[in-house]
Structure 1
């Protein structure tokens, strides 16, 4: 958290007002003055903005013991030069409401540097299981995690939630427009395939999604997409990267499936996974329009096509699967299938956010045996990563020696990056189960995370307003509206005849089970 510039207090009333605001923010003015005095004395006032703030926020290069230690610094020099301004005017740690008023070039930049990581991409993607890269969190890894998190967030932002829409459950945009509409072209990837999944099961009437009239599909929902890095991005990251992004739980029937806790076998050696997750991943029906092929078959067909194309050009190809919540569970199932059936892939990794447990011990062991690298990003206060079996697994952990080989005990897979809501000075200190699980909270905390015993990163630059996109978790002082990301006028438009009506979708944005085959042109 940044320190606000100190000002001379001329009256007791002003002093009491500032003290009250300081206490509300979680720090005292005496502590601020003491920290400033200590820092300036130690450095004899010869400090750059970056070095002084690193000292105050606990950021240090110590402990970076991997070969990545000597990589580029957190921020380029042009961002840390104080340009002749006084130290006092630069010591602002917290964003304020004024930072969210558009002032053109004076706005805080929200994009971090994009270094050339081609020489170290395998380490960043878990070659050594992220040893010494998570605490402290290496900046190159942080930016990769945020990138894949934004790919996951896109599956929510583009999803049509409107129960009155004829296309409820679909993506609002066709694949050619998706990244343009969501401002994700900066990552240098192109979408090649949409994925649909079946979630039409028998549920109580009060649990069904309300809808009036006919819809584009009664059986399927848009579940995610396949994308691939462009030529320029592939050069920067050191290989051709195929990404599969899976959507988390939205539809009521998906929640119903999530709550099932039974395991079903999917492989030899007693490998079992949660039956609800596997049902969404593998279900299909000839009577449907969009799921004559299961989500599993759709995604594997798309990945195989891309793999054959780029391997045919002699390129190194990786598969990175990502998702939040249910999407994280589907990402694990996807990675398991890819590792089992696609030996030509050079590297398979999973970066999940707030994902529940998926399989048993045999599933975990098989994933490790196949070399799938998995990084689970979890928030300490989020309950979903403790599911399924939150009660059963906690009890069994006490008698681990007797139960560690039982085939019906759920286990997490891979390495864990644990975040804590309390570290961010911008988040409310309120109990909110949905807020704790929100993906934008995950991305905010990742962007500010430095280490387990270190303070929130002073130069975190991902846009804070995104936190309140679909929640109310930002402190009131920032004055950002809650749940602000929504369709204007709830989807109604004012037409040329002066009437408010539901707009027709452009023909290209209407879902089609016969989507055109992508032209494999990735020169951008």
Structure 2
């Protein structure tokens, strides 16, 4: 797939390029590229939602040029807060995409949905990105904490604590990976995690599934796997060419460190007697079997940022090989290259659909293989099969930090790589030939959660996201102490096993219920 042009013109309105619609379900005329506002308003008298999707895209292609010319004027970039706007929800209203879910899920590689970015797809990308962000927000990074390296909340409380119940998903399993694995140095943390909770394992993400209401809206039962990335990429330009090792039975090879994190296990550990790979696939297979047994359509969407995006691709490769016929998509943010050209070809042949969201200024997506990458494929006649060359997989949505009037014009490698920066830019992206949309809904303050990217005029402090008093509380004697976790939030393998047992019992009851009612 060719990447979307990242050129953004700030001051001069430009003629927008034409786009051709290739969807068999969607009949939009070949007109000039366009820009829509936050969300199209469906006609309630229409019963065919696929027609609404076509109508929405047609409007997107028809009404955008005037809107683009208007917002391209710098005088329309008002950085002052609009009180009315900030008394409204920080998200767009949900649309019923049930008849168009396969296109949104990438069955046609997102042709004509990326540039301009269709508002329905934008909303889904942000949703999956917020699941990936949850793996950072809930992770205990505090090296002084006895639970450092774990999730701060139990599965039942995770989305409630992070304000993500709005998405309509329920967490069904946590994923743990061996810590201190052989990660490329440019993705390692600068400081070591504490080892008091578990000297062997770290919490790496979760499996979640859409509830009944969300499943009706999106047209299928959606299983989500969210993988955590690293805290901060350090030593950016060291170890750029890592060891590739075989995966599967063909010529496909992937980066050694990524595969090691995904597959490592040890009987001597508490949480990794089974690997992250085995944990996630056991749960995905269980959910697929359960919901397909009810006659439902099921999809698997895997998301992650940075290292998490690499693990998401390995997870998708294994899922597609293990569960034939299951629609599998990856939505990654700032992810590095994972494998060689043979790996790319094999995972595409399996039917995995990958949407990579990348930022022009972020260096992580250029690694590993900053020199020896897919660009060498043009010399295939001379270099042979190129089994030692890294390559990206799938479609690309390319963002530019300079498209947002809210971001500082400075070099900030950490800020460029932060997932909240990505989500801010996705929310404001209209097309490669326009500026930040004026009616973006996502709260801009989130950008500065862990960096200093917002312009000073907005007066948001840098790195403001932290626990109150950095986690200390005052006890009954008036002394400041580290609090004890609620029992349900303390990581415990026995608690994980108990949750799994309850789910198995419930699943058995649900399967038997129709028979008992006869």
TM-score band, normalised by shorter chain: 0.7 to 0.9
Deviation at 1:94, TM superposition (A): 4.1
- Residue 399 of structure 1: how far off its partner (Å): 3.4
Shift of 1:377: 0.4
Asked if residue 315 in structure 1 is aligned to residue 296 in structure 2, the reply is: yes
- Residue in structure 2 matched with residue 292 of structure 1 by the alignment: 273
* Deviation, structure 1 residue 69: 3.7
Separation in 2 of the partners of 1:420 and 1:257?
Answer: 25
Query: What is the distance in 2 between the residues matched to 1:412 and 1:440?
Result: 22
Pairing 1:88-487 to 2, within 5 Å after superposition: 93-94=76-77, 96-99=79-82, 107-201=87-181, 209-210=191-192, 215-250=196-231, 261-345=242-326, 347-393=327-373, 396=376, 399-403=379-383, 405-487=385-467
Confirm or deny that 1:59 pairs with 2:35. yes
Alpha-carbon deviations, 1:199-249, whole Å to 9, x = none?
234899x9885467x611001000000000000100000000000000001
Please give the alpha-carbon distance, in whole angstroms, between the structure 2 residues aligned to 1:208 and 1:418.
28
Q: Specify whether residues 92 and 510 from structure 1 end up closer, same or farther in structure 2 by C-alpha distance, changes over 3 A only.
A: farther
Q: Match of 1:223, SS?
A: strand
**Matched residue of 2:434: which SS?**
coil
8 A contact 1:262–1:274 mirrored in 2: yes
Say if 1:273 and 1:286 are closer, same or farther in 2 by CA, change over 3 A.
same
Paired position in structure 2 for 1:519: 503
The C-alpha deviation readout for 1:406-459, integer Å capped at 9, x for no partner, is 111111110000001111111000001111111001101000001111121111
Cα distance in structure 2, aligned partners of 1:130 and 1:388: 26
Find the aligned partners of 1:218 and 1:288 in 2 and give their Cα distance. 9
Q: Who is 1:493 aligned against? A: 473
Distance 1:218 1:399 in 2: 46
For residues 240 and 201 of structure 2, what CA distance do their matches in structure 1 show?
19
Deviations 1:145-194 (A, max 9, x none): 00000000000000000000000000000010000011000000000000
SS at match of 2:231: coil
Asked if the contact 2:181/2:260 (under 8 Å) is kept, the reply is no
Q: 1 CA distance for matches of 2:344 and 2:334?
A: 18
1:400 is displaced (CA, Å) by 4.8
Q: How many residues are matched?
A: 449
Shift of 1:97: 5.0
Q: Distance in 1 between matches of 2:10 and 2:306?
A: 34
1:71 aligns with 2:52: no
Please give the alpha-carbon distance, in whole angstroms, between the structure 1 residues aligned to 2:232 and 2:406. Answer: 30
Unpaired runs of at least 5, structure 2: 1-8, 14-32, 41-49, 61-69, 511-518
Q: 1:394 to 1:125 in 2, by over 3 A?
A: closer
**Contact 1:242 / 1:319 at 8 angstroms: preserved in 2?**
yes
Kindly state the Cα deviation for residue 271 of structure 1 after the two structures are TM-superposed: 1.0
Distance in 1, Cα, partners of 2:359 & 2:106: 20
Deviates more, 1:310-319 or 1:512-521: 512-521
Report the Cα distance in structure 1 between the residues aligned to 2:190 and 2:357, rounded to whole angstroms: 31
Change in Cα spacing, 1:456 to 1:300, as seen in structure 2 (3 Å) is: same
TM-score, reference length from structure 2: 0.80
Deviations 1:241-300 (A, max 9, x none): 000000001399999998671011011221110000000000000000000000000000
How much is the aligned-residue C-alpha RMSD, in angstroms?
3.3
Measure how far apart 1:107 and its partner are.
Answer: 1.9
Q: Secondary structure at the match of 2:371?
A: helix
Query: Structure 1 pair 343/397, CA: closer, same or farther in 2 (3 Å)?
Result: closer
Q: CA distance change for structure 1 residues 147 and 252 in 2, over 3 Å: closer, same or farther?
A: closer
Q: By how many angstroms is 1:108 displaced?
A: 4.1
Q: 1:305 to 1:235 in 2, by over 3 A?
A: same
The question of whether the paired residues in 1 share the 8 Å contact of 2:374 and 2:391 is answered with: no
Q: CA deviation at 1:488?
A: 1.4
Match of 1:22 in 2: none
Q: What does the per-residue CA deviation read over 1:304-359, in whole Å, with 9 as the maximum and x for residues that have no partner?
A: 111111011011100000000000000000000000011152x1000000000001
Give the whole-Å Cα distance in 2 for the aligned partners of 1:272 and 1:261.
12
Separation in structure 2 between the aligned mates of residue 291 and residue 388 of structure 1, nearest angstrom: 27
SS at match of 1:236: helix
Distance 1:93 1:251, change over 3 A: closer
Q: Distance in 1 between matches of 2:121 and 2:233?
A: 35
Deviation of 1:491 (Å): 1.3
Rg larger for: 1
Give the 3-state SS of the residue equivalent to 1:71 in structure 2. Answer: helix
